[in-house]
Structure 1
C-alpha cells in the first residue's frame, strides 16, 4: 500500500514537471530554429529554458508562489484561474497531472517495486509529454524521442522486458517501418504524410517492446488515430487536407503495450 501511495504522489509531482516541459520545450525548439540574428517575439525573457525563469503564468508571466503550484490542489483552490490576472488556466494542467499520476499508479500496481518499475514510469512520463506537445504543436522533440529510445535499450539491457537483441531490432524496425510508409506516400502523392519525429517515436517504442510487438502496436495506433481523426472531421474541428498529429496515437498504443504486463 505504501508503494502505491508513494508512486501516486510521485506521479502528481512528475505531472507538474511535465506541464513545464510541455509549455517550455516547444518555445526552446522554436528559438533554436530561428535565425541567429533575430530577436524572439514570444514575449518571454531572453534567458529561457526548462529551469529559468521560475514557474509563471503563461499569460501574465507572474511568478507562481509555491503554495499555488501544488499539483491538482492549487488548481482547484484557485478555481482554475491565475491569482494575479484572473485569467483561466488551461484544463491541460490538471489533466496532465492526473493522467501522469494514474499512469504511474498503473505501473506501480502491475510491476513489483524496484528500478524496473521506475524506468517504466519514466517511459510513461515521456510518452505523455510527447503526446501533448505533438497535439498542441505538431512537434516531437528529439530530446524526448531519443531519450525514450536510449532508455528503452537500457531497460532491456538485462532482458527485463524483452531480450536486448529484440529491442535493438525493434528500434531499427520501428524506424524503417514508418520511413517506408513516408517514402511510398511521398512517391504517390508528392506530399509528406508523416514527420521524422514519428519515425523516432516508433523506433523508441520498438526498443521497449521488441520487434514482435510492432505490427500490433502500429495497427492499434492507426485505428485509434483514424477514429479520432474521423470524429474531429465530423465535428468540423479539422478539414480534410489538414495535417493531423500521429504522435498521440503512437504514444497511447505504446503505453498500453509497454506498461501492461503480458500485453506487449
Structure 2
C-alpha cells in the first residue's frame, strides 16, 4: 500500500491515468460477467462460462482477434460493428468500459486513502455487473451478492475503522429490513414488491457500510428510485418494469465514498 501511496504522491497525473487504463480493462471483464452470468444462472442450454468460449460475435460466431478485444479502442475502431458480419455490437459493452475507466481514474485522483480506494474499486466491480444484470433481467444472482457480502465482512476484519460487529449487524439488519418490508407489502396488497435478491444485496451493502448507514442508504436508494421511475415512465409508459438493485448499488457507492472522507477528515 505504501508503494501505491508513494506513486500517487510523486506522480499525481500518471497514477489516475494508469488507474483509468486499469479501469477500462476491468470494465471489459465486467461486461463479460454481465453478459454471461444470467445464462449461467438460468442454466440455458449450451450456456458459456466466464472463460470459455473465447469472446466472439453471438450472431456469426466470429472469434475476436486480440486487437478486437482492446477496451474502448476496438469498439471505436470497429465503429460498433462486428468485423465479420457487421452486426451492431451493443453500446452497453462500450459504456461499461468507459464508465469503469472514468470511475477508476476519477476516484484515483480524489480518494485520500489508497486502501480505501482499492476497497471502493472492489465494491464497484461487484455492483456494476449486478446493476446491469438486474436492469436487463430483474435478477441479482447469488454468485455475485454472496461473495460481495463476505468481501465486506472480511474487509472490516482487517480494516478496523469500522468494527466487524457493526458490519455483521449491518448485514443482518440490511436483509431483515427489506424482508419485513416485502412481507408487509405482500400481506397488505397480495403482490410482491421486491425480490429476494434485493434483500441479499442490501445485506451485502450493510456488511460494507455498517448498520448505522442503513437508514441513509435506503433513503438514497428510495429517492433515486423515485426519480428513476418517473424518468422512465415519461420515456416509456408501456411495459415499465422497475428494478431496485441499480438504485441500491448507487446508494451503496455514495454512502461508502462519503464514509471514507468522513474517516479521513
State TM-score, norm by structure 2. 0.88
1:164 aligns with 2:176: no
Q: What's the CA shift for 1:233? A: 1.4
Among candidates 243, 246, 249, match of residue 245 of structure 1: 243
Name 1:37's counterpart in structure 2: none
Among candidates 9, 20, 23, match of residue 21 of structure 2: 9
Name 1:43's counterpart in structure 2: none
Q: What's the CA shift for 1:220? A: 0.8
Contact 2:40 2:47 in 1 (8 A): no
Contact 2:39 2:47 in 1 (8 A): no
Q: What's the CA shift for 1:102? A: 1.9
> C-alpha offsets along residues 8-40 of structure 1, whole Å, 9 cap, x if unaligned?
111110000011111100011111xx6xxxxx2
Distance in 2, matches of 1:160 and 1:6, equals 29
Name 2:5's counterpart in structure 1: none
C-alpha distance 165-215 of structure 1, shift in aligned 2 (>3 A) = same
**Residue range with higher mean Cα deviation, 101-110 or 209-218:** 101-110
The residue matched to 2:51 in structure 1 has which SS?
A: coil
What is the 5 A alignment of 1:93-132?
Answer: 93-109=93-109, 110-114=111-115, 116-132=116-132
**Residue range with higher mean Cα deviation, 229-238 or 73-82:** 229-238
Name 1:83's counterpart in structure 2: 83
What is the 5 A alignment of 1:137-148?
Answer: 137-148=137-148
Name 1:262's counterpart in structure 2: 261
C-alpha distance 187-263 of structure 1, shift in aligned 2 (>3 A) = farther
State TM-score, norm by structure 1. 0.89
The residue matched to 2:157 in structure 1 has which SS?
A: coil
Q: What's the CA shift for 1:113? A: 3.0
Q: What's the CA shift for 1:244? A: 1.4
Distance in 1, matches of 2:55 and 2:205, equals 31
**Residue range with higher mean Cα deviation, 47-56 or 165-174:** 47-56
Name 2:35's counterpart in structure 1: 23
C-alpha distance 160-73 of structure 1, shift in aligned 2 (>3 A) = farther
Q: What's the CA shift for 1:47? A: 6.5
Q: What's the CA shift for 1:213? A: 0.8
Q: CA RMSD in A?
A: 1.8
C-alpha distance 196-88 of structure 1, shift in aligned 2 (>3 A) = same
1:54 aligns with 2:66: no
The structure richer in helix per residue is 2
Contact 2:130 2:144 in 1 (8 A): yes
Contact 1:161 1:209 in 2 (8 A): no
